[in-house]
Amino acid sequence: MKDIFDNIKFGRFNLKSRIIRTGLWESQNDSTYGLSQSIFDRYESLAKNNVGLIITELISLYSHDRFSDYSDYINYPYFIKEFRSLPEIAHEYDVPIFAQIGFINCNINGKQMMEVNELNMEDIRKIQADYIVAAKKIAFAGFDGIQLNIGNNYFLSRVMDPFENQREDNYGGNTYNRVRMVLEIIKLIKQTTDLHIHCRVNLYKDFDDSLEICKILAENGADSLQITKFLSPQYFRKSLSNENMLVDFTDAVASEVSIPVVLGGGLSSMNAMNDLMNSTNIEFFSMQRPFVRNPALLTEWKEKGYGESDCKTCNNCYWKKDSTCLIKSE
Ligand code: SF4
């Protein structure tokens, strides 16, 4: 029987559990002093409490695109100096750590709020070059991998979306063309760093096209995938049909590719994860808000042999400077 606390390979890494801590929008910066001791304490809590792999909160590719005043961006002047502490902390506990990078609004080459179909070749090359510079900084800071957030409503997810992308050049039309821009980024990151490349990718409206996107990514350099949807899967926790759709799709992807595939959120019970893992091809699960609620969650589950997060998915911990849960226990 498989268990979430199995020691397991994930690419070249040995994980202590099958639980991936995905970052969302927790504050990483107090907007005056950069990374503070409370941020370092947060990562230490994750690393020492049985998380298999840590993925940081979103580090935006562009300063204009920060999620809040307390979010970070890759061109923050002290990025390498401050962020190198996060891999140092995680590695003390033998936990690998990836940096998450992405952007939503496309303001480049002096143009504002560009849509997918408006990009010219100069714009495409600028975005790709910005990703390569970001990857080099992430590698230099000592991270083990990079999570390319090309899911949810991030800009590159819209480039791959068959409904959004109506381009008639080599970057639109068939599935491969819509993934081409991301594939070129992956290829260049591989040529210039040894980062593990983890892609957070959507289940779009078209199941088969979405599956094809995942296969193309897996066959062209992606080292692992995390499956998500346009809106965070946490919003679907109470909707069985939506939850099942994501599970069914993740199961289908995991059966078709030979790289690790992570179910992107939506589950918060140890028994439910173990049941799912033993009845499908799904091997890895991601969680985020449950760790804000209780950073020692997995250690408690491991000791008891069962457990469920009581996070309400209310999102009141976000947007704030300290990203703490103030909801009282029942
Ligand atoms: S209960 Fe609400 S405030 Fe607390 S961790 Fe969950 S989402 Fe955040």
pLDDT digits (tens, 9 = 90+) for 115-128: 999 999 999 999 99
Q: Of ligand 1's atoms, which has the minimum distance to the CA of residue 315? A: 7
> According to the model, what pLDDT value does residue 242 have?
53
- Closest alpha carbon to 100 in 49, 54, 156: 54
Amino acid 103 reads: F
- The residue contributing the CA closest to ligand 1 atom 4 is 325
Q: Mean pLDDT across the stretch 235-252? A: 71
Report how far ligand 1's centroid is from the alpha carbon of 326 (Å).
7
Q: Which residue has the tokens 């990374």?
A: 35
Q: With respect to residue 288, please indicate whether it lies within any of the assigned structural domains.
A: yes
**What is the rounded distance in angstroms from the CA atom of residue 284 to the CA atom of residue 226?**
9
321 in any annotated domain: no
Q: Kindly state if the Cβ of 314 falls inside 6 Å of ligand 1.
A: yes
Asked if residue 330 is part of any domain, the answer here is no
CA of 27 to the centre of ligand 1 (A): 14
User: Ligand 1 centroid vs 15 CA: distance in angstroms?
Assistant: 26
Which ligand 1 atom minimizes the distance to the CA of 313?
A: 7
User: How far, in Å, is the centroid of ligand 1 from the Cα of 169?
Assistant: 44
- pLDDT exceeds 70 at position 295: yes
Residue 319 is assigned to a structural domain of this protein: no
What is the Å distance from ligand 1's center to 75 Cα?
30
Burial of 128 (0-12, 13-18, 19+ CB in 10 A): middle
CATH number at residue 266: 3.20.20.70
CA of 288 to the centre of ligand 1 (A): 10
Residue 2 covered by a domain: no
| CB neighbour burial string for 149-188, b if at least 16 within 10 angstroms, e if fewer | bbbbebbbbbbbbbebbebeeebbeebebbbbbbbbbbeb
Which token pair is 329? 């226990």
Q: Is the CB of 111 under 6 A from ligand 1?
A: no
CA distances in angstroms from 288 to 40, 181, 240, 278, listed in the order given: 17, 29, 20, 23
Give CA–CA dist 259/222, Å, rounded: 8
| Gap from CA of 185 to ligand 1 centroid (Å) | 35
The number of the ligand 1 atom at minimal distance from the alpha carbon of 292 is 5
Answer yes or no: is pLDDT of 235 > 50.
Answer: no
Burial 27-51 (b: 16+ CB within 10 A, else e): bbbeeeebbbeebeebbbbbbbbbb
Ligand 1 within 6 A of CB of 292: yes
Of 26, 293, 324, the residue with max ligand 1 atoms within 8 A of its CB, to mutate for a pocket test, comes to 293
Partners of 107 in beta bridges:
none
Is residue 328 assigned to a domain?
no
pLDDT-based confidence at residue 36 (cuts at 50, 70, 90): confident
Per-residue pLDDT at 184 exceeds 80: yes
pLDDT beyond 90 at 44? yes
Sign of CA dihedral 87, 133, 73, 290: negative
Asked whether 31 and 308 are in contact (CB, 8 A), the reply is no
Residue 314 CB-density burial (10 A; 0-12 exposed, 13-18 middle, 19+ buried): exposed
Number of domains forming the structure of the chain? 1
Minimum CA distance residue for ligand 1 atom 5: 293
In the predicted model, what is the mean pLDDT of residues 177-202? 98
Residue 255: give the domain boundaries.
8-304
Does ligand 1 have an atom closer than 6 angstroms to the CB of 320? Answer: no
Inter-axis angle of helices 175-192 and 207-219, to 10 degrees? Answer: 30
Q: For position 323, what pLDDT does the model report?
A: 79
- Nearest protein CA to atom 8 of ligand 1, as residue: 317
Contact (Cβ atoms closer than 8 angstroms) between residue 308 and residue 298: no
> What predicted TM-score, i.e. pTM, was given to this entire model?
0.94
Q: Separation of 232 CA from ligand 1 center, angstroms? A: 14
Is the pLDDT at 236 greater than 70? The verdict is no
User: Domain for residue 320, yes or no?
Assistant: no
Average pLDDT of the chain, as a whole number:
91
State which ligand 1 atom lies nearest to the alpha carbon of 316.
3
pLDDT category of residue 71 using cuts at 50, 70 and 90: confident
pLDDT higher than threshold 50 for residue 216: yes
Burial of 190 (0-12, 13-18, 19+ CB in 10 A): middle
294 touches ligand 1 (CB under 6 Å)? no
- Predicted confidence (pLDDT) at residue 231 exceeds the cutoff of 70: no
Closest CA to 245 of 258, 230, 259: 230
Residue 325 has pLDDT above 90, yes or no: no
Asked if 16 and 286 count as a contact pair (C-beta separation under 8 A), the reply is no
Quick: pLDDT tens for 139-165.
999 999 999 999 999 999 999 999 999
Distance 323 CA to ligand 1 centre (A): 9
Q: Whose CA is nearest to atom 6 of ligand 1?
A: 311
Q: Is residue 1 part of a domain?
A: no
